[in-house]
A = this chain, B = another copy of it.
Amino acid sequence: MVKGFRYIPPEKALEEVLKHIQSINEVEEIPILNSVGRILAEDIIVKEDIPPRDTSHFDGYAANYEDTLNASYENPVRLKIKGDIAPNEVHNYEISKGEVYRISTGGYLPKGANTIIPVEAVRVLDKETIQITRKSKPMEHVIKCGEDYKSGEIALKIGRIIRPVDIDLMAYIKIKRVKVYRKPVIAVLAVGDELIIEETSPHTYMIMKLIEEFGATPIDMGIAKDDNMDIMYKIGKSLKICDLLITIGGCSVGEMDLVPDAVMSMPKSKIIVRGIMRVPGRQTSFAIVDGKPILMLPGLIQSTIIGFYTLGLPLILKLSNNNAKPMKLKVKSFREIIIENMLPFERAVFGRIIELKETPIVEILTGKSLLRRMMIDSHGFIVIPPFKNAINKGEDLELNLFKPNLYDNYGD
């Protein structure tokens, strides 16, 4: 029997949970075009200098700067156009004294050239001749061979969340497929007789969509009855096909709260967390059954959500090999409010941004944990420390956005 709670602070609970979670080490190779948002499972190494040769950064004329040294308004210098160079054109052109090539942005400099005279700085006298009145500096408007990346350099590090600009680089260096970590498969099982009227429960939909938003693959395991055998059977079935099982409901200490008991009745089971010191969501619990993690979320919607963000989101990120951290938004409270705290617990309240100033102004919404409105109308939640029972008007707070920016350190 594990009826009783053994509440621990959320950060301690998270530490315990993460200790028991192994990141997925299976790798799959997928087309780069499908890889945005996935976690890179290999270093992407540049095999050739980028650019591969000295390259023009301007439309203009590739010249030897020494040929321009005497140019001035009083003493215009004429140079001979030897030909044209297109962007990325592979060539063996070279210039001798007094010669230039007409060159486009992205064109490789001919041998002997070491500066670009921009088209705006040139007077074209005829098809073969330009005149200049200003001297150039060496390597002016030239992107040096390897200035972007040197051959052998790691451009994208393992562990990085792949972004659109990464796709551009990989396409440019002719990588068509890329190794990424397999996405975690997360089974969701709702528990409660009252839910059986539908195929699945509204909270299951919500949690599945959150799982998707954070880059994992949800599986709907339907609803278990308030019956120990049914719960055990469906937990067992889920664990066979998932990397993590999330149950919703039935994890408090009422008569119908059978999930922790059912979990404990499974072979090789161990309860790691049984309650966290944060409300709503204090019933959130975590167990390992035969090596597989089970996150038990309470069923009242605000508790479900806060439990999910407190333990579920970091857990999913770790499973995913995603090292990113959710960024918090600095906000200010619109008004003074009194918080009904359940000591010594932290209290999560919902925050609605009502003015998008330099520091956004947030209205705090509170209400019983069965009510949806606070979450429907808010942008995220704010955690109030224990023993704090008021927020002042204008007080600085941190808003945990429901859809946070993930701070990716790009594998560093």
- Compute how far the CA of A401 lies from the CA of B382 in the bound complex, rounded to whole angstroms: 22
User: Given A156-B376, A325-B356, A377-B410, is A36 in contact with B212 using a C-beta cutoff of 8 Å?
Assistant: yes
Partner of A301, one of B33, B168, B353: B168
Chain B residues, CB < 8 A from A51: 370
The answer to whether A206 touches B376, judged by C-beta atoms less than 8 angstroms apart, is: no
- 19 new A-B contacts, CB < 8 A, other than A106-B194, A167-B209, A171-B205, are A33-B209, A57-B369, A86-B193, A86-B194, A104-B255, A105-B252, A106-B370, A148-B367, A148-B370, A155-B376, A164-B210, A165-B375, A165-B376, A166-B376, A167-B206, A169-B202, A172-B372, A353-B407, A379-B407
Q: How large is the interface on A (under 10, 10 to 19, 20 to 34, 35 or more residues)?
A: 35 or more
Identify A206's interface contact among B168, B193, B207, B367, CB under 8 A: B168
In the assembled complex, A192 has its CB within 8 A of some CB on chain B? yes
A268 vs B371: C-alpha distance in the bound complex, in angstroms?
Answer: 55
A55 within 8 A of B: yes
Contact yes or no, B212 A371, CB < 8 A: no
1/0 contact trace for A98-111 toward B, CB 8 Å? 00000011100000
Q: Which 7 A-B pairs give the minimum distances between C-beta atoms?
A: A164-B209, A171-B202, A59-B254, A168-B206, A87-B194, A88-B194, A168-B202
A-B contact pairs, 6 of them (CB 8 A): A36-B209, A148-B370, A148-B372, A156-B376, A165-B376, A356-B407
A213 within 8 Å of B (CB atoms): yes
The reply to whether the CB of A89 lies closer than 8 angstroms to some CB of chain B is yes
Copies of this subunit: 2
Q: Does A143 contact B (CB under 8 A)?
A: yes
- A360 surroundings in chain B (CB, below 8 A): 327, 407
Smallest beta-carbon distance A401→chain B, Å:
6
Residues of B within 8 A of A230 (CB): none
Closest to A102 in B: B255
- Are B358 and A330 in contact, with the CB atoms below 8 A? yes
Which of B206, B254, B327 contacts A105 (CB under 8 A)?
Answer: B254
* B89 in contact with A194 (CB, 8 Å): yes
Does B167 contact A254, Cβ atoms closer than 8 Å? no
